[in-house]
Structure 1
Amino acid sequence: MITDESEIVIIVEGLTDKRQIEKLITDDVTILCTNGTLSIERFDDLLEEYDLDYRDVIILVDEDKSGMKLRKQLARELPHAEHIRVSSDYREVATTPENILATALLSKRISVNPIFLV
């Protein structure tokens, strides 16, 4: 189990999503990539390694078929997790305008660089 990490974990689909979020936030947050899919074995490894049952978890995935399937799976396994949904107009986390994504992160108590709130 990792004990020196932040209390907040954001679960995203891909590396592009992770980089987009890292650019916006100022908080110490752990961002986990699922690479679009999540086997039971991989989920169990993440659950144990990052102690997900006892940390604040935010699910931020694309609003497409694979993202919605992943969100449903994660919601079932992590019922305490909060969700950030990107607009279906943008469909993907990585293509959501920075100011909209920053505002959504801020709404979940994650500090963001104020230049992205304009």
Structure 2
Amino acid sequence: MRIAIIVEGKNDRSRLRRVLSDDVPIYCTYGTPSTDRLEKLRGEVGDKHPYLFTDNDSSGKRIRGMLRDAFPDADHIHTRKGYSGVEKTPEVYLIEQLEKAGLEAYIMYPPQDPAPWKKEDQF
């Protein structure tokens, strides 16, 4: 399945780009989208399955409502209250939300830390 993610702004896109593979297009509303912007987003998304990743604040909820009307089949992902937007959400939480949405195949997981050094390792 081909997917696309729609976020509110370019900082959100930059933050998600750190944890998503480059073959996932991430589009921006650039704030509250106008009718023209919604039409342009529909064209950009095309036949890809949309995921809406928005902030969990009043503005994000308003934008999510507008996007829901434009993309009725979209899956919804959003940050937790307390995080000041997608751009300030810890990567581990972004990954957790993407996993909940079933997008594991597109996640670029950070490298695992090697096992900690032990005194016994020196012998």
The match for 2:58 is 65
Please give the secondary structure, in 2, of the residue aligned with 1:115.
coil
Runs of 4+ more than 2 Å apart: 106-111
State the shift of 1:106 in Å: 2.3
The match for 1:3 is none
Correspondence 1:42 to 2:37: yes
Please give the secondary structure, in 2, of the residue aligned with 1:58.
strand
Aligned-CA RMSD value: 2.1
State the shift of 1:97 in Å: 1.0
State the shift of 1:56 in Å: 0.7
Deviates more, 1:41-50 or 1:63-72: 41-50
Correspondence 1:114 to 2:109: yes
The match for 1:89 is 82
Identity %: 32
Contact 2:42 2:70 in 1 (8 A): no
Return closer, same or farther for 1:46/1:7 CA change in 2, 3 Å cut-off.
same
Q: Give the alignment's TM-score, normalised by structure 2.
A: 0.80
Contact 1:103 1:117 in 2 (8 A): no
Gaps of 5+ in 2: 114-123
Please give the secondary structure, in 2, of the residue aligned with 1:25.
coil
Return closer, same or farther for 1:114/1:50 CA change in 2, 3 Å cut-off.
closer
State the shift of 1:113 in Å: 2.1
The match for 1:23 is 18
Return closer, same or farther for 1:115/1:49 CA change in 2, 3 Å cut-off.
closer
Return closer, same or farther for 1:116/1:32 CA change in 2, 3 Å cut-off.
farther
Q: Give the alignment's TM-score, normalised by structure 1.
A: 0.83
Gaps of 5+ in 1: 1-5
